[in-house]
Structures are given as structure tokens and as C-alpha cells.
Chain A
């Protein structure tokens, strides 16, 4: 196959799926399988990025069947950036999970349960990764629905892995919400198919008339996706599910899974049905986003447990993504995409780093009560440092990727005199400072007469992946020209689309 062949696109979907199946067959070598799969996945993402930069965006019809009959995949700027984000965070999370499980398995007395958890973790994680990559690449609504289902079910199962009653309850609630979301989405698809007869995104985009059927379909699909994205007031399931899961699972859920459904929603609103969206709808999204920012931050400030605090901070950070909606009326499309992409990438790296650090602390101290975590720095300096750097990104300080996103948000809010969004963004950043530093000040202070806890077994894999992700999220702003370049290359003029099919 030549490098300009669009068939390569299928690799990021098939590869983790195969790895997941192999995990069941060779359950002694699971880590080796998964590690090679995520490495290959990362390389595939890089390859697709390179391909996009050289040849422009591409389309691939599976088995040579063209739309509307066949299933099509495509790459463009946002898609490859999301693939890259998943590739990088996925790699770090995999390494961390290895350290996490070996730490717990070495804990005598509970070995069997942890081995059991690990056995199911790897294949489920691979299934989830495959679903996510599929979501980013698919160009067909029904196909997207299937990826949503794969993601939802594997994510809920992962959340249940910890086995504690609280986690079981939370993950069951998560599963039901997720299913409700998928069903609503499916209902939307039915409406859509009934009124247009096509499900391919490009064909849908070319529709000029949006009748009541299409509008109803869009509304249903949006509600389904918002449920999965946990926008306030549909966030109720998120904090318990994310906080009670095992640490690597929390990282996956907060960093990647939510971004998947958000990405799809954003794509539907701003690319496929852009002309059907009303200003009122955009403002509703912006308002809900503002409420999310403030409410999530207030809740995060009030939490007594570290992981719950981090989970509420996710609720808050998601709000920024939705503030981009109303600003799209005045900002150009490229700017809105860059806001969303920078925010999503920075948050994915920072939040997974934060959950990993919180998990390491939980493992070592056996609890995550914030008030009893004084002087953690003495035992786990790198973890605390990673946590702090990730916190800086959440606060949106320069030079983090979130700073770039906030700069663009504030800039377009002020340019169009919509200062109220600017107020919310500023208030959210200050509140983020409070919930980040409330914890960090405890971590780094060593009061007089403090004796640090001696650690037993310790693995570098528990600390360094988190630090690496935190540094990426912090330095993303300095590398801002590259994502912008990739986004610019992936703009949507259809003339560049190559014919699909096998060579």
C-alpha cells in the first residue's frame, strides 16, 4: 500500500480491537500485547497526521462501497488531533495502569482480586480505545452510534471494576444514563433517516432544507450526547462514577470518554447541521456551560475527598467547551475549532495526570481525605509536582494549552462585546485556583515535627507518566502553531477529498 492510501485509516480501529481479543487468548502476556497496541496506535495517529499534512484530508469507503450504502471513514484536522490526544494519553495511562496493578498485586492478601481486576481491565480498555478511534474517524451517523455504544458499555464496565459497593452503584447509574443517551441518539437517527434517507455526514451537510423532522432529530441526538458529556444539569452521574473507579479508569473516563461524545456533538452542530442551528440554541448551550463552570467549581471547592474534587473539576472544565458555542456567531469557524481542540487536548492531559497523581496518593496512603494529606510531598515529590503542574493548566495559566483556549475565548467575547462570558471565564479561573491550591498547599507544607511516611514498594510507572502528561499540557501552548497548522490543513473544502476504495 502506498502512503497516500486512505486504507491506513482503519488501523487505529482494528488494532486495539485485535489486541483486546488477543488479551483473552493469551492472558499471561496481556501487558505486552496492550503496550504494543497503544504504541502502534500512537504511531498510526502520527502517520495519519503526516498523511493529512501531505495530502490533505481523506475519505475511505470500506470494502469499496460508496455512501449512502457503504460505511465511510475520513480524516481531517480535528479528527487527527483527537487521535493524537488519545494516542498520547492512552500510552501514558497504559504505563501507569501497569504500575498501578503491579503495586496492588504485590499487596498480600488481596492479590487475587487485583489480578482479576487487571485481567478484565486490559481487554476492556482496548475495546474502549477502538471505539474512541472509531468515533473520531467515522463519517456515518449509524456507525457513530455503534461506536458510542461500544464506548458507553466498555466505560461503564471499567467503572465497575473496582468492585466496591459505591463503585458498583455509580457505574450502574452510569450505564443506565449512557444507555439512555444512546437510545435517544438512536431515536434521533430514526427521525433523520425517515426525513432525509441518508446517514453519511457529508451528504447530510449538503442538505439545504432542514424540515421539522431534521430539527427533531438534531434535538434528540444532542440531548443524547449531552447526557453522555455530562453538561450541567445532566452531570449527576459523573462525579460518583469517576471518583469511585480505579485510578487508571478515572483517568480514561475523564480525559477521553467525555471528549468523544463532545466531539461528536460539536461536529454535528458546527459542521453537519451548522445552518439549522439557531442563536437561541447556542445561547442555551453557553448558559448551561457557564452554570457548569461555576457550579462544578463550587462543588469542587466544597469536596473533602481528593478524587471527588478532581471529578467535579471535570464538570467545571467541560463548561468552557460550551462557552465556545455562542461565541461562534461572531468568531470564524477556525477560531471556534481551535478553542475546542486546545481546551480538549489540554484538559485530557492535565486531568488524566491529576487522576493518576490522586490514584498514586490513594495507593500509598490508603485514603484520599484532603485534610489528612499534609506533607505528601515528602514521600511523593514527583507526584505532587505533576499534580501541581496539571493544576496550573486547569487554572488556564500561560503557557498551557488551556491558556490559549481561554485567550481565544476571552478575545472573541470581548471583540463582540459579550462581556458576560468573559466574566464567567475569569470567575471560573479564580475558582479553579482555589480548588487547586486548597489541595496543593496541604501537599507541600511540612509542619514542624512532621515525620514522612516511609514507602514500601514503589514503581516509577506510578509517577513519571503523570508528570509527562502534566508537562505536555503545560507546554502545549508553546507548541500552539503545530495544532493550528494541522487544523488549517484539515479545512473542509470537498475538492480535496480523494476517491475511496482499495487500490
Chain B
């Protein structure tokens, strides 16, 4: 084993080992558990940064474990996996801090944080997967490790949400398995590093390959919450706020979107997809999802439910970018949105959690004047919301700018229209919330106010949204800097030779 392989192993172990230790830890050892959690998360970020630098300098990170002829597990660090791994590990650290604050005083925390750690291990596994079999392995494990978190509250509603989540996720997992095996039967094993199988197959097996592409997208589409496979996501918002952040920004939805990216860029490759002419279908689904999610969000009064529909809409920008795979600018827009959407959405969920935890506010109709009680939280919320609408200099603007340029370059005027309508709809559901919060008049006492002393809420609840909100602004303002999500995405696109 060389140092690159050891690094990959340690990246996975840095959250697996704390997870196992936490499972075995007595419930009352809160401080020790927090120490383990935060140490694991920090070490993980450090290791991933080392990997990022290594990848930038051109080292290869690869572990192969053969299973049966034609089937092997392959961990591979490439620029794209570095993007996802860095995003997940950084957001995981913040979510862990937030979760420690959020769950203060509630029972079963060992269980919760144990699965939390396993969940991020698996997500990093998805990021590092080097072929479809490995991806499938971690993808199914992600369902297993997130399920206990979704039903953590143990209420009937939570159990129902969990059941739906499982049915959606495992049915799609089964479809995905069939598609993977079928694809392997047609074109042989495909590594992600190959940038697509040989176009010779496309000529001889075009119908089958189209069908397999649709099955693969169906398989990952459930987690990416493409309409009409999105049903589980709004229900799953019943889970505690840190879990929602995990589902929406760090792990699950992201894993689905990441899967779409891998299938488009690495399994099929731009060339084959253009030959098959199936990309308009993906673009169409993405468009429908973007508009449908926004329209449904308009009707919501429950804040977390609104955010869930907003995720459905926003994540499809990534799919939209992928459907214009021959336009480098659109690909940049889609890929960078993977990071940007995560930053914005996690900010919003943290803030929604703060409102619920500190004041007992779950509904938009109760939010009048809340900004005067919690100014910092609502500032962060405002930044996140403006980002969602796409107002400069937030990161949301950067994604939309590139997607727009890409669709123009492709000569797709109507896609520009879709982006504009989507921004408008985002404005329609976020701006009323902001005006209510900042300019509304408080009506009666807050439902369940928690007295928290010096700050507007617990410090551990307050810091994470402020940090992410700051990043939303900063990463947008200095998007062209040497170290920013955008420049890393440019590096990725250059590697793909687009």
C-alpha cells in the first residue's frame, strides 16, 4: 500500500471509527462523545484537503478489490470526487456542531450520533467510488444509515415517512442494480475514470443503451428527488433539523445528483449521450422538476416543507446542467451548483431549525417580526434566500449565470426562460417570508420560547448558519479566486477536456 491508498482508507476510517466508538458509549458521556465527533470531523477535513492537493498535483488515488470476475470494488479519488468529498466533510463538521446544540437534553443521542458518523462515512464512500458497483454499494448503505435518523423521533408520522423513504429508496436501488448489471453485460465493466464506454457500442446497441440510461437515472433519480420520484422528500422533513440538513445538503439528495453527474460524464460520456440523443429527455425532466418544485413551494405554510420543495427544484439545476453536457459553461454551472445549493440550503435549514427550537415557530404565518427577536439567524436566512433567488453577489447567482450562459451557447432560449421563471417563483415564495420576518409586527407571545441567555439562541445553533451564510456571500463574491468552488469546478471541466 502506498501513501495514497492509506490516505483513502484513513479518510473512510476517520468517521467510521468514531461512529463505532460512539455506538458503544454510555448515553451520559456527552462531552466525550462531542470530542470524538468533532475530532473525527476535523481529521477528516484535514485528510481530504491533503487528498485535494494531491489530486491537484496529479497524484493518483486508487484502491482496487476484486470480488468476482468482472466485478471489483474501486475507490478512486479524482477531481469530481474531491469536490463532493470536500463539500460533505465540511458541511458535516458544521452539522455535527449544530446537532450537538440542537439535541442538547434529548434522549438517545449515542444512537443518533453513531448513525450520523456512519452516514458521512458512506457519503464519502459515494464520493470516492470509482465504478458503478462501488457506487451501488455505498448508495444502498446510505439508505440504511439514514433511515434510523429519519425515524429518530419515533412518532407515527416519522415512522410513516421512514417507511416511504425506504420503499422509494430500495425500489430504486433494485432498478439501479438491474441497470448496472445490464450495462455491464452490454459494454463490459466501466470505470468512472474512463470517461464513457466506446462509441462503437452506441452504434450497435442504441435502443438497449437508451433504456439502460433511463433505468440508471430512475435509480438515482429517487434520491435526487426528480419529479415524479420526489414523494419521500417533503415527508422526510419530519426528522430533526440536523437530519434535514444531512438529507438535503450533505448526503442523500446530493448523492442522487452526484450519481446523475457520474452517469452522464463518466459512465456514458458526452460523446455517447449526444449520439443517443437522449439528453433532451433529462433536460425535460429537470425543467419539469424545477418548475413543479417551485410551484408547490408557493403553496406551503410549513417552513421546512417549503424548503423541501425548494430543494426538489434547486437540485434539478444540476441535472439541467448535465443535460447540456456539450456546453462546458452549462456543465460548470451544474457542477458548481452541487456545492452552492448545499451551502445555501444548509443555511436555510439551520435557520428553520433555530426558529423551531428557540421559539417553537414551524409555520410561516407565525413568523411576523421574528427578525427582531433573532436578528442574526434571520440575517443568515435572508442571505440564503437571496442566494436561492439568484441575486448577486451570492453563490446562487454564480450558478445561474453559468447555466444561463451555457443554455445561450447551446441556442436554447427557452431554458433561459425556465431559469428566469424559476428565479421569479423563488422570489415569490421567499420574499414574503423575509418581509414578514423583518417588517411584520409580532402577534402575541412566541409559541414555545426558550430562554438562552446572552445570545439569541444557543451558541452552537447560531454559529453554523452564520458560517455557511458568510460562505454563501464570500464564495459568490470571490468566485474567481484561486481557491473557490468555481475554480475547482473549472479544473474538473478542464480534466474532462470539455
Contact = CB atoms under 8 A, between A and B. Distances in A.
A426 interface: yes
B181 A445 contact: no
A433 B170 contact: yes
A83 B132 CA distance: 34
Nearest to B108: A446
Interface in B182-227: 182, 184-185
A257 interface: no
B137 A398 contact: yes
B181 to A, nearest CB: 5
Contacts of B67: 399, 404, 477-478, 480-481
B66 interface: yes
Contacts of B174: 426, 429-430
A397 B169 CA distance: 13
B151 A441 contact: yes
A437 B166 contact: yes
B184 A445 contact: no
A480 B137 CA distance: 15
Interface stretch (A148-156, A408-416, A455-463): A408-416
Given A377-B111, A426-B175, A433-B170, A392 B144 contact: yes
Contacts of A445: 151, 154, 159
A185 to B, nearest CB: 34
- Highest count of chain A CB atoms <10 Å: which of B23, B174, B178: B174
Given A444-B151, A478-B67, A430 B170 contact: yes
Contact of B154 (A408, A426, A448): A448
B363 interface: no
A338 interface: yes
A410 B133 CA distance: 14
A468 to B, nearest CB: 16
A348 interface: no
Interface residues of B, number: 37
- Highest count of chain B CB atoms <10 Å: which of A392, A397, A448: A397
A414 B181 contact: yes
B326 interface: no
Contacts of A411: 181, 184-185
B248 to A, nearest CB: 22
Give the interface size class of chain A.
35 or more
A212 interface: no
Given A392-B144, A410-B178, A433-B170, A447 B155 contact: yes
Interface string A442-482: 00111110100000000000000000000000000110110
A224 B140 CA distance: 40
B362 interface: no
Interface string B60-80: 000001111001010000000
Contacts of B66: 481
A498 to B, nearest CB: 29
A403 B480 CA distance: 46
B269 interface: no
Contacts of B175: 426
Contact of A446 (B154, B162, B170, B181): B154
B393 interface: no
A397 B68 contact: no
A102 B68 CA distance: 43
A221 B68 CA distance: 34
A338 B185 contact: no
Nearest to B155: A447
Contacts of B65: 478
B148 interface: yes
Nearest to B171: A430
A404 B67 CA distance: 8
A31 B183 CA distance: 53
A269 interface: no
A397 B144 contact: yes
Nearest to A448: B154
B366 interface: no
A407 interface: yes
A18 to B, nearest CB: 39
B29 to A, nearest CB: 16
Contacts of B177: 406-407, 410, 426
A429 B182 CA distance: 17
A25 B107 CA distance: 54
B136 interface: yes
B436 interface: no
B275 to A, nearest CB: 23
Nearest to B65: A478
Given A377-B111, A445-B159, A480-B67, A407 B151 contact: no
Nearest to B182: A414
Interface string A409-437: 01100110000001000100110011001
B166 A407 contact: no
B144 A484 contact: no
B163 interface: yes
Given A404-B68, A408-B68, A410-B177, A441 B162 contact: yes
A478 B65 CA distance: 8
A446 B144 contact: no
A36 to B, nearest CB: 32
A446 B182 CA distance: 41
A407 B71 contact: yes
A450 B111 CA distance: 15
A17 to B, nearest CB: 37
Contacts of A230: none
Interface string A123-159: 0000000000000000000000000000000000000
A415 B111 CA distance: 43
A478 B73 CA distance: 9
A82 interface: no
B68 A407 contact: yes
Interface in A381-403: 381, 392, 395, 397-399
Nearest to B175: A426
B178 A444 contact: no
Nearest to A429: B174
A422 B215 CA distance: 14
Nearest to A442: B159
Nearest to B69: A484
B119 to A, nearest CB: 15
Given A392-B144, A395-B170, 18 more contacts: A381-B23, A397-B144, A399-B67, A399-B73, A399-B137, A404-B67, A404-B71, A407-B68, A407-B177, A410-B181, A411-B184, A422-B178, A426-B175, A437-B166, A447-B155, A448-B154, A448-B155, A481-B68
23 contacts: A381-B23, A398-B137, A399-B67, A404-B67, A407-B68, A407-B181, A411-B181, A411-B185, A426-B175, A429-B170, A430-B174, A433-B166, A441-B162, A444-B151, A445-B159, A447-B154, A450-B154, A478-B65, A478-B73, A481-B66, A481-B67, A481-B68, A484-B68
Per CB-CB distance, the 7 closest pairs between chain A and chain B, nearest first, are A398-B137, A445-B154, A447-B154, A480-B67, A426-B174, A433-B170, A397-B140
Interface of B: 23, 65-68, 71, 73, 107-108, 111, 133, 136-137, 140-141, 144, 147-148, 151, 154-155, 159, 162-163, 166-167, 170-171, 173-175, 177-178, 181-182, 184-185
